[in-house]
Amino acid sequence: MDLNDGKAYLIGDGFSADGQFPFIDEINLKSQKTERLYQSKLTDKVENIAFALDAKAGEFVVQIESKNEYPNYYIRNIKKRIGLQPLTQFENPFKSIQDVHKEVITYKRDDGLPLTGTLYLPTDYKKGEKYPMIMWAYPREYKDKNSAGQNTSNSNEFTYPSYGSPLFWVARGYVVLDDAAFPIVGEGDDQPNDTFVKQLVGNAKAAIDAVDAMGYIDRDRVAVGGHSYGAFMTANLLSHSNLFAAGIARSGAYNRTLTPFGFQSEERNYWEAPDVYNTMSPFMNANTMKTPLLLIHGEADNNSGTYPMQSERYFNALKGLGAPVRLVMLPNESHGYSAKESILHMLWEQDQWLETYVKNKKNDESIQKREQIKD
């Protein structure tokens, strides 16, 4: 901002139907008129405008990355026709997966709502073969379908596996659908959670149908997983559908009567909407859950909605009802996990679970029999 000449500069992410093209605008503070000074034209990379180094001289610091190029910083001059000046030269630390196929896919729910997810194919992918799949997601609430259907994913972003990512399994022979869209919409007087379960199952079915139609997967060998509210989503999907061979739920909440004064975007308390709380609680529907579920939780989780007893009591209920379930408690870990030992053990547990119940799924009726999708 330059107060002397009455001008300021606006930096935008530049999401559009054609992709992401960040921009820089100049705004006249008196007239409120804007002028587009620069807009990225990169189609095979992602450019993020970090900050202005000298806006008056046209110098901005930008970050540029691609699927297999680690994010690096450059100085871009938007007034002079000179090349990018590199500030960093970080190399890709994940070269073993740098060439993995990655794309953002779009598809529709049965009510027409547009959805997206980032799809990865196995590192040893062979055309025509059917692979097991793991889908990872996190539900989000919206008050209108336009907001819920917006796409802010970019397939050119660097492929960066974090400690809790499902991306590692592309190297284990799995298709991975990461960040699958799970919008829960309530328009007008309707609240999103009034139809939570129905929308949840609709999102999952649409995602599986989309990848199956592409010819990549064996839809009988699909797993679902999530962390925190994603774990809550996972338990509900296994309780109310027969779409999955197994699930992984980390650091979740499963009994909403233990969070009686609201959760996520739910502002009604338990006594105002008891049916919603009970219907949404996997614990209350434990008798319908027959799909193998791996529960992981930090013993020192101090997040107010996900105390360790959430997993402990849900596990006891499922075990008492004969469901195939395993509980792993990570010592000294909170809502997220930090210790190398904890992370490596978590990854091993997840891998063993997926290998047993998804990739090498047995045709054992006692394991495979799952209830039909409920209304």
Predicted TM-score (pTM) of this structure: 0.86
Amino acid (1-letter code) at residue 323: A
Residues 6+ apart with CB under 8 A from 227: 138, 164, 250, 251, 252
Q: Which are the contacts of 61, defined by CB distance < 8 A and separation ≥ 6? A: 49, 50, 51, 52, 53, 73, 74, 75, 76, 87
Largest CA distance in the chain: 76
Structural tokens at position 272: 């105002």
The domain 95-368 having CATH identifier 3.40.50.1100: the answer here is no
pLDDT tens across the length of the chain (375 residues): 555 578 899 999 888 777 789 999 999 999 999 999 999 999 889 999 999 999 889 999 999 999 889 999 999 999 988 999 999 999 999 888 888 999 999 999 999 999 999 999 999 999 999 999 999 999 999 878 777 767 667 778 898 889 999 999 999 999 999 999 999 999 888 899 999 999 999 999 999 999 999 999 999 999 999 999 999 999 999 999 999 999 999 999 999 999 999 999 888 999 999 999 999 999 999 999 999 999 999 999 999 999 999 999 999 999 999 999 999 999 999 999 999 999 999 999 999 999 999 999 876 444 444 433 444
Catalytic residues, which ones? 228, 301, 335
Residue 156: per-residue pLDDT? 86
